[in-house]
């Protein structure tokens, strides 16, 4: 007699179905391919919108910890978009229709969060509303779909939920630190309106009955991207170009140890790269998704490079706020260049890092310094930059022409931006104060060594340095 769902046994009681599920679980029909694809397209839309929102809000967000977290989270969203796109393409779906808006209510939902007029609202919209709503939709997919037939979707959903949980946990902590009860109360009608937008769309997955779309609030007029980089109060004197870090690092007279302090400064200063790359990614439309994924990976790497500087300073016992982490580069590129011009400058700079005096040299200093942490930081920084040069070849060069033309164009774009050393001084924006001796002295205290008078006396500024040369090592 044939076994029933209740009585069927696998061979020697081994886990059935490759361990995916039990036979009774896999015997429930679950979602059709059409229903499954319909839902996947909504998760795709949600991750893509979240990617754009997080990217767009990096530049003008003053708080460094949020800037860096948005950099990570936008990249993670970009990876999940990619995974879902690949999955939809496997499910009899040409044309994929992935660029279509699945529902007007969903569009309003994400438009509102993008346009959130303050950091507190943005955090609530992202981390208390959108990301948890997406996670709930994914969790429901796992319950509704057939665990055997839809195993490939389940695999990417489980992975997405792992990272969603990390993002939500960060957001909850950030909200606890930054959002007061007053702000939360003020936000509550808006959060209710967000819920109504989701309800209008039949929930994020579209599995529920749709409702009426509420009137827009913050997105009633279309969102305008703010390209001006902002920093929190720990970052002072943002126009300061008083210490020429490259000329110190490349000067053979100076020993390796103090050079590591200057390299940490250069790393932390790289926070200007996410500020700038965010503008390229947000303002460039119509590229294949792989472009956005790769550019977001690079943006995240640059945020990570800044955090390497932060870690290095703290490990050395140096108060990094005494250094002047200028925003000159991102400010000028974002306000004076088009997206392709910015990309050209970035590529030109990163090519410069591939030479003998670039990233390899910085790693060698790290090794020579006898500080294992610095060697590790520079080792990975170098590896990341090799990847970035490859990504530039993949996505930037084809937009301009040959490798030579692309390089010349980058050179041209940047030399058009003349040094503003004198101008910002005359405008009273900075005195270009020399912060180096104070920072170097702190490191000496932590090493228990006497400051080297020659190193202490370093006072070369960026005055007279060609703007492009200044920045050749400034970023990337
Ligand atoms: Fe970098
Ligand atoms: Fe880079």
Question: How remote is the CA of residue 356 from the centroid of ligand 2, in Å?
Answer: 16
Between CA 37 and CA 49, with CA 43 as vertex, the angle to 5 degrees is: 135
Q: How many helical (H) and strand (E) elements, i.e. helices and strands, does the chain have? A: 22, 0
Terminal alpha carbon distance of the chain: 70
Cα–Cα distance measured from residue 357 to residue 250, given in angstroms and rounded to the nearest whole number: 8
Dihedral-angle region of residue 315 (phi above 0 means left; psi in -120 to 50 means alpha; beta otherwise): alpha
CA 349 to ligand 2 center in whole angstroms: 9
The proportion of the chain whose per-residue pLDDT surpasses 70, expressed as a percent, equals 98
Mean pLDDT of the chain: 95
For range 242-265, the mean pLDDT: 96
Burial of 315 per CB tally in 10 Å (0-12, 13-18, 19+):
middle
pLDDT tens per residue across span 4-42 = 998 999 999 999 999 999 999 999 999 999 999 999 999
Check residue 350 and give its pLDDT. Answer: 86
Measure 380 CA to ligand 1 centroid, in angstroms. Answer: 10
Q: How many A from CA of 123 to the centre of ligand 1?
A: 27
- Give the C-alpha separation, 34 to 93, whole Å: 9
> Do 197 and 108 touch, CB atoms closer than 8 A?
yes
pTM of the predicted protein model: 0.96
- In angstroms and rounded to an integer, the radius of gyration of the C-alpha atoms of the chain is 26
**Arithmetic mean of pLDDT, 208-213:** 95
What is the distance in A from the centroid of ligand 2 to the CA of 359?
10
Percentage of residues in the chain with pLDDT exceeding 90? 91
pLDDT at site 476: 54
Confidence at residue 472, expressed as pLDDT on a 0 to 100 scale: 43
Question: How many Å apart are CA 198 and CA 107, to the nearest integer?
Answer: 9
pLDDT digits (tens, 9 = 90+) for 448-467: 999 999 999 999 999 877 54
- Centroid of ligand 2 to alpha carbon of 138 (angstroms): 34
Show Cβ contacts of residue 264 under 8 Å, excluding neighbours closer than 6 positions: 308, 309, 312, 313, 316, 318, 320, 374
- Per-residue pLDDT, averaged over 378-402, amounts to 94
Query: CB of 461 within 8 A of CB of 244?
Result: yes
Closest ligand to Cα 349: 2
User: 404 C-alpha to center of ligand 2: Å?
Assistant: 20
pLDDT for res 471: 47
Residues 434-458 have a mean pLDDT of: 97
What CA–CA distances, in Å, run from 150 to 43, 142, 156? 16, 9, 11
Region 317-341: what's the mean pLDDT? 96
How remote is the CA of residue 304 from the centroid of ligand 1, in Å? 8
In the reported structure, the alpha carbon of residue 470 is separated from the centroid of ligand 1 by a whole-number distance in angstroms of 15
Q: Distance, CA 73 to ligand 1 centroid (Å)? A: 18
Question: Which pLDDT does position 473 carry in this prediction?
Answer: 44
Domains and CATH numbers, the chain: 29-200 (1.20.1260.10), 245-472 (1.20.910)
Average pLDDT score over residue span 393-398:
94
Cα–Cα distance measured from residue 339 to residue 138, given in angstroms and rounded to the nearest whole number? 35
474 pLDDT higher than 80? no
Give the model's pLDDT for residue 466. 58
Give pLDDT tens digits for 103-143: 999 999 999 999 999 999 999 999 999 999 999 999 999 99
Contact 44, 88 (CB under 8 A): yes
Alpha-carbon gap, residue 258 to 445, rounded angstroms: 12
Closest ligand to 474 CA? Answer: 1
Tens digit of each residue's pLDDT (9 = 90 or more) over 55-70: 999 999 999 999 999 9
In 3D space, the residue among 140, 189, 164, 148 whose CA is nearest the CA of residue 39 turns out to be: 140
Cα of 165 from ligand 2 centre, angstroms: 28
Which ligand is closest in space to the CA of residue 352? 2
Reading the block at residue 413, the tokens are 């774009």
Q: Which ligand is nearest to the CA of 392?
A: 2
Tell me the residues surrounding ligand 1 (ion) with CB < 5 Å.
270, 302, 305
- Cα four-point dihedral sign 18, 19, 23, 28: negative
């Amino acid at each position: 007699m044939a076994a029933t769902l209740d009585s069927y046994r696998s061979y020697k009681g081994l886990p059935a179905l490759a361990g995916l599920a039990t036979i009774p679980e896999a015997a429930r029909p679950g979602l059709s391919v059409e229903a499954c694809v319909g839902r996947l397209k909504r998760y795709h839309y949600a991750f893509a919108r979240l990617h754009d929102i997080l990217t767009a809000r990096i530049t003008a967000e003053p708080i460094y910890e949020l800037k860096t977290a948005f950099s990570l989270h936008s990249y993670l969203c970009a990876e999940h978009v990619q995974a879902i796109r690949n999955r939809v393409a496997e499910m009899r779906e040409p044309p994929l229709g992935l660029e279509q808006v699945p529902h007007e209510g969903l569009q309003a939902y994400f438009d509102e969060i993008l346009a959130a007029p303050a950091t507190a609202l943005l955090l609530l919209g992202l981390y208390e509303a959108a990301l948890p709503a997406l996670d709930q939709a994914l969790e429901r997919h796992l319950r509704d779909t057939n665990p055997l037939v839809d195993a490939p979707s389940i695999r990417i959903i489980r992975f997405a939920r792992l990272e969603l949980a990390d993002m939500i946990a960060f957001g909850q902590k950030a909200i606890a630190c930054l959002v007061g009860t007053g702000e939360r109360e003020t936000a509550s009608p808006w959060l209710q309106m967000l819920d109504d937008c989701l309800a209008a769309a039949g929930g994020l997955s579209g599995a529920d009955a749709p409702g009426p779309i509420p009137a827009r609030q913050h997105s009633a007029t279309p969102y305008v991207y703010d390209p001006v980089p902002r920093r929190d109060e720990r970052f002072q004197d943002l126009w300061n170009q008083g210490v020429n870090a490259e000329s110190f690092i490349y000067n053979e007279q100076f020993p390796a140890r103090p050079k590591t302090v200057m390299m940490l400064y250069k790393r932390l200063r790289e926070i200007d790269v996410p500020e700038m790359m965010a503008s390229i990614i947000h303002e460039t439309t119509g590229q294949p998704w792989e472009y956005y994924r790769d550019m977001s990976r690079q943006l995240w790497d640059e945020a990570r490079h800044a955090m390497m500087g932060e870690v290095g300073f703290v490990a050395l016992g140096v108060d990094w706020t005494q250094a002047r982490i200028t925003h000159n580069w991102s400010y000028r590129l974002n306000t004076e260049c088009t997206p392709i011009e910015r990309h050209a400058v970035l590529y030109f700079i990163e090519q410069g890092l591939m030479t003998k005096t670039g990233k390899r040299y910085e790693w060698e200093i790290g090794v020579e310094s006898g500080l294992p942490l610095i060697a590790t930081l520079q080792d990975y920084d170098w590896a990341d930059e090799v990847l970035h040069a490859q990504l530039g070849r993949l996505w930037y060069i084809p937009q301009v022409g040959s490798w030579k033309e692309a390089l010349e164009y980058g050179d041209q774009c940047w030399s058009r931006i003349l040094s503003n050393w004198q101008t910002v001084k005359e405008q009273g924006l900075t005195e270009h104060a020399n912060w180096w001796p104070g920072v170097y002295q702190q490191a000496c205290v932590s090493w228990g060594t006497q400051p080297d008078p020659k190193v202490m006396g370093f006072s070369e500024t960026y005055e007279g340095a060609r703007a492009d040369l200044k920045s050749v090592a400034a970023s990337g």
